[in-house]
Amino acid sequence: MRNSVVSAIGLDVGSKRIGVAGCDSTGLIATGLTTVVRTNLPADLEALHTLILQRRAEVVIVGLPKNMNGSLGQQAQRTQLFGTRLQEALGVSVYYVDERLTTVQAERSMQRQGLSALKRRALIDQQAAAIILQQWLDIRRHQQLCPIQESIDERDLNP
């Protein structure tokens, strides 16, 4: 995976919705795809399975909602459990990326674009997922360019 283009999907996992993002064929640019409204675990996994198959995704990048001090709270633990279930049910590799402030970043970006509050509300989760995926793509690309610096926070890239 290290020296080749990879097809990846990024997820912003919340209790009510899951924002989904994908990357382009070059593996350089992440964009929001859709938002999955959560109902129950089997339905959530089925919806994601369909997207993973459509996109031919090899890996899934999940935003890990760490506390501001870097510790893992209840939501981060729930997210890791979801990631584990996703990996077990669908057989995909799951990696985690620190998602602190991605929703704020996404909101500000959409405000700068002049999107209405209604439109921002509809897109916020997938935009946050795009930021999460873009972080992973950027870290991965940087590690390919600078192989001597293998420790650019590999802890967040490990499943």
Residue-wise burial string across 126-140, b where 16 or more C-beta atoms lie within 10 A, e elsewhere: bbbbbbbbbbbbebb
pLDDT of 10 over the 80 cut: yes
Residue 48 pLDDT greater than 90, yes or no: yes
Query: How high is the pLDDT of residue 157?
Result: 52
Rg value, the chain, Cα: 15
- Counting Cβ atoms within 10 Å, is residue 78 exposed (0-12), middle (13-18) or buried (19+)? middle
Which one is predicted more confidently, 6 or 33?
A: 33
In this model, does residue 110 exceed pLDDT 90? no
Query: For all residues of the chain together, what is the average pLDDT?
Result: 84
pLDDT category at 131 given cuts 50, 70, 90 is very high
d(CA 157, CA 159): 7
Q: What is the model's pLDDT at position 149? A: 44
The correct CATH number of 8-157 out of 3.30.420.140, 3.40.50.1000, 3.40.190.150, 3.90.650.10 is 3.30.420.140
Write down the residue that tokens 């459509």 correspond to.
Answer: 54
Task: Give the pLDDT of residue 34.
Answer: 96
Instruction: State the residue for tokens 């990357």.
Output: 23
For position 152, what pLDDT does the model report?
Answer: 44
Examine the pLDDT at 2 and tell me if it is beyond 50.
Answer: no
Count of other CB atoms within 10 angstroms of residue 153 = 10
Beta strands in 1-156 (DSSP E): 8-13, 17-23, 30-37, 59-64, 93-98
pLDDT band at 66 (very low <50, low <70, confident <90, very high): confident
Pairing of strands 59-64, 30-37: unpaired
- Tell me the pTM: 0.80
